[in-house]
Structure formats: C-alpha cells, structure tokens
C-alpha cells in the first residue's frame, strides 16, 4: 500500500515585482498553513518522505508544516519537476519514486494538485485551495503502477476557521 499527501502552497503575495518562483507567502498563507498543518498532525502520523517544489511559496509552506509537525528540515528534498502547474511532471515524479517509500508528502501547485486529486482519488474536488491538503491511498506495491485509489481526507483552511 502507498500513500500520498498533496499540500498546495499557502496564499502568495503579488505585491512585489519579482519572478513567479520567488513570490513569498502572504500573512494569510502563513496562518492557513499553520492551521492546516496542526489539523494534519491530529489526523495522521506524518513520518513521510517530504518533497517540495523549489518555488519560494511552496518551500515556505513546506517549512511551516515540518516545523509544526516536528519534522527535521533536513528531510525536505527540493525537486525541480514539482514546479509544475499541469500535473504531468508531478505524476511522472510520483511514478519514479523508490518503492521502499510507502508514504510521501509533496508540496506544490495548482492546477496540478486538483487534477491529480481528481484523477487518482475517489472524491471529486472543484479546486484545492491554497494551504489545502489531500491524502490519497493506493492498493499498489510499486509506484510505477499508480492508479485510482481512495481519497482518505481533504483539509481546507476555511473549514478550520
């Protein structure tokens, strides 16, 4: 059995004249990420391998989660292919994961994460909001065999306020 937690980055700021990759989190993005990461810690043990897009907003969200969940930042692996808005590169990355990993957590972007949640989960979501989390479970032994699984839960910041 394999499990994936997809975490969309927190709300980002458009106020600065910088590249998309460098956009920081807004205060709301920080606060929502704290809320969701605390709730995630209550719902499951998160001892997963952790991967993040290199984009500032995704990596900052990842660091908020790891700090809240008391996971060493040294466990974070930054993967260029996770800076993906469509989902093809993320799916390719997931299918290439080492099979000794049964649980992974990935920090990245929409529309990739909404699409992946709908393709591989069994609960349709219209849009995974910023700081939103989806946990998917698969009855497979090999990541290469990725197919539709079960949506274990979805955590949305708005529902925690």
Interval 75-120: pLDDT, tens: 999 999 999 999 999 999 999 999 999 999 999 999 999 999 999 9
Instruction: Say yes or no to pLDDT of 47 above 80.
Output: no
Q: Which CATH class is domain 2-160?
A: alpha beta
> Which uninterrupted H or E stretch holds 104?
strand 103-108
Neighbouring residues of 138: CB distance < 8 A, sequence distance ≥ 6 = 1, 2, 3, 4, 120, 146, 147, 149, 150
Whole-Å CA distances, 55 to 4, 23, 42, 129: 20, 8, 27, 17
pLDDT band with cut points at 50, 70 and 90 for residue 10? very high
What pLDDT sits at residue 3? 96
Instruction: Say yes or no to pLDDT of 70 above 80.
Output: yes
Q: What residue spans define the domains of the chain?
A: 2-160
Q: Is the pTM of this model over 0.75?
A: yes
């Amino acid at each position: 059995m394999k499990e994936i937690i997809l975490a969309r980055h927190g709300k980002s700021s458009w106020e600065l004249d910088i590249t998309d990759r460098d956009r920081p989190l807004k205060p709301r993005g920080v606060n929502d990420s704290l809320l969701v990461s605390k709730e995630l810690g209550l719902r499951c043990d998160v001892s997963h391998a952790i991967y993040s897009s290199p984009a500032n907003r995704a990596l900052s969200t990842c660091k908020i989660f790891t700090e809240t969940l008391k996971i060493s930042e040294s466990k974070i692996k930054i993967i260029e292919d996770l800076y993906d808005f469509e989902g093809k590169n993320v799916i390719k990355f997931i299918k290439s994961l080492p099979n000794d990993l049964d649980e992974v957590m990935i920090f990245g972007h929409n529309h990739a994460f909404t699409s992946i949640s709908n393709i591989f989960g069994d609960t349709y979501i219209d849009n995974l909001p910023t700081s939103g989390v989806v946990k998917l479970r698969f009855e497979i032994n090999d990541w290469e065999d990725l197919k539709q699984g079960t949506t274990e839960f979805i955590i949305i910041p708005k529902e925690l306020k």
